[in-house]
Each structure stands twice: as structure tokens, then as C-alpha cells.
Amino acid sequence: MKWHRLRRSFNDPLFSAEVMEEGFRLGASTELDLRVRGDGGFVVLHDEELEGETTGHGLIRNTQPQDIRNLRLLQGGHPPILSEDLAAMLRTAHPDALLQFDMKDSLSLIGPRGMAHLAEYFAGASSSIIVSGDDLDLIIAVKQQLPEVRRGIDPTDRLVEIYRHQGLKAVEDDLRADLSGPTEPDTIYLAWELVLQAAVGGLDLIGLCHDAGRLVDAWTFNLANPDRGFDADESRDFSALMALKPDQITTDESVATERAWAWIAGDADRT
């Protein structure tokens, strides 16, 4: 179970340094989003504008780090994490910890300064991070600039469009091209709904990736009521997803989801 946006549950604040440190201590798999700043560095935020998540205003890519440091996240009231802070914190990570950098900007926006910044601050943390994104040119640039860092790609949006207009065979062909393409990804990130829909149609997307030697992260499975566990539909979907053997499942409710799945598994054992 990977902690989506550095949260073990929706009760955790968004992108909290304290929760990230706990993940590092436990050796957990966690994820955060990165946006490029005006100076070529990065900040841990999802939206391209400051308004959605912080007390600031304007495009992040036009904002300097000293101005970002004075802001607070609307959820939690803590300051945003800058990439420099993140690099320092990564030095404390448990050997089993893995932090996903989900890059929300394209290579054209990040540019040479941004790539140089990544290389300067994170080349030494290669065993603890994986860099992902839907911009394949960016992932290729990561391979060239930081060849020792693991890479991931998320072709979901494109595959959904292909499925809608061309069908499952075209989805299979396109994914195969990604798997053998120049990004050489370690992990493929796929929406769990797409995985299940394709399986109903006879296409095992996870098996296809495994056959190519790639790991699969199925995102983002969240319980409607974490305290109560799975409802009937969630139990059916999660069981079907687990039967396809994803390597990792992204969730904002990792503890509750693990507890709910353990209950189902234990109930199955009892019967």
C-alpha cells in the first residue's frame, strides 16, 4: 500500500513533512507531487497554481522559493516542502523506503535548470526514489541525467482514450510500445478502474507489464467509509484487483485498506 500524497489516511494533512518522516522511518512506499518553481527548483504541491493548496496566489513556476517558504498549506497549516528540504530529509530514510516523485510539469516547463537541480540534489538518493510522470520526454531526460534513478510512467489517460476510440487491441499495442520504449520504466502506473475494465474484456494489463519485467502500481483505491471497511462493491473490486497481482496499490487510506483486506482474507480462510 503506497501512501498517496504523503497520507496514511484522509485525517493526515496534505504533503506533511511529519508524515513523510514517519514513512521514512517505517520503510514505507510513499508518493508526492512536484512542481517546478521560478528558480528551477521544486516544491511539493499538486496544482500548478498556489491558490488551490496554499495561502499564496499565482503560478508556481513564476514563484521564487523565498516567497513559497512564507506560505502555508490550507490543509494542515504547515509550510510547503521545498526540494532542498526534501533532499536533506531523504538522508534519514530507511533502506526499504521508496518515495515517488510524481512530476506534474512537462520537460518543456522544467527545462535545463530544473533537470540540473534534480541531478544536483537527488543523484545521491537514487536507492530511495522513483521519478514518474506522463511526459515521456521528461522520463527520458531523467534517464539521461540521473541514470541510476528508477523511473515510472503513467500512460493511463492515453490508454483510456485509445480504449474509447480504438478498442482493447489498440490499448495492448500501445502499452507494449511503452514497455519496450526508450523510457525503460521500472514501474507502470495504471488506474485500477482501467485495469479491471480491461480484464473484463480479456486483457490483463498487469500480466502484460509483468511479462516485460515491469512492476505495476494500481492507483488510487480509496474506501468510501474507512472506519467500516469495504462495502459490497469495494470488496468485489478490490478482490478482483488483487487477483490480478499488482505490485503496489496507491491509496489515501493505507491502514484502513490493509485492515479491510485482512478481514476479507481472514473470512475467506475461515470459510
CA 228 to centroid of chain Cα atoms: 26
Residue with cell 479491510: 260
**pLDDT > 60? residue 270:** no
Give the model confidence (pLDDT) of 210-253 as tens digits.
999 999 999 999 999 999 999 999 999 999 999 999 999 999 99
Length of the chain: 271
Q: What is the pLDDT of residue 271?
A: 42
**CATH of span 1-152:** 3.20.20.190
CA distances from 270 to 169, 239, 261 (A): 40, 17, 14
Above pLDDT 70, what percent of the chain?
98
Q: Which of 215, 212, 205, 220 is nearest to 253 (CA)?
A: 220
The residue-averaged pLDDT of 57-71 equals: 98
Give the model confidence (pLDDT) of 141-164 as tens digits.
999 999 999 999 999 999 999 999
Q: What is the pLDDT of residue 173?
A: 98
The residues pairing with 103 across neighbouring beta strands, listed in sequence order, are: 34
What SS3 string covers the chain? CEEHHHCCCCCCCCCCHHHHHHHHHHCCEEEEEEEECCCCCEEECCCCEHHHCECCCCEHHHCCHHHHHCCCECCCCCCCCEHHHHHHHHCCCCCCCEEEEEECCCHHHHHHHHHHHHHHHHHHHCCCEEEEECCHHHHHHHHHHCCCCEEEECCHHHHHHHHHHHCHHHHHHHHHHHHCCCCCCCEEEEEHHHHHHHHHCCCCHHHHHHHCCCEEEEECCCCCCCCCCCCHHHHHHHHHHHHCCCCEEEECCHHHHHHHHHHHHHHHHHC
Q: How far apart are CA 48 and CA 58, in angstroms?
A: 9
Q: What is the pLDDT of residue 117?
A: 98
Give the model confidence (pLDDT) of 12-36 as tens digits.
999 999 999 999 999 999 999 999 9
The residue-averaged pLDDT of 32-41 equals: 98
Give the model confidence (pLDDT) of 171-188 as tens digits.
999 999 999 999 999 999
Q: How far apart are CA 199 and CA 249, in angstroms?
A: 17
Q: How far apart are CA 80 and CA 191, in angstroms?
A: 27
Domain ranges of the chain: 1-152, 154-271
Q: What is the pLDDT of residue 265?
A: 79
Q: What is the pLDDT of residue 267?
A: 59
In this prediction, residue 266 has a pLDDT band, given cuts at 50, 70 and 90, of: confident
Q: How far apart are CA 138 and CA 134, in angstroms?
A: 8
- Cβ 223 vs Cβ 234: under 8 Å: yes
Amino acid at 64: Q
Give the model confidence (pLDDT) of 74-127 as tens digits.
999 999 999 999 999 999 999 999 999 999 999 999 999 999 999 999 999 999
**pLDDT > 80? residue 168:** yes
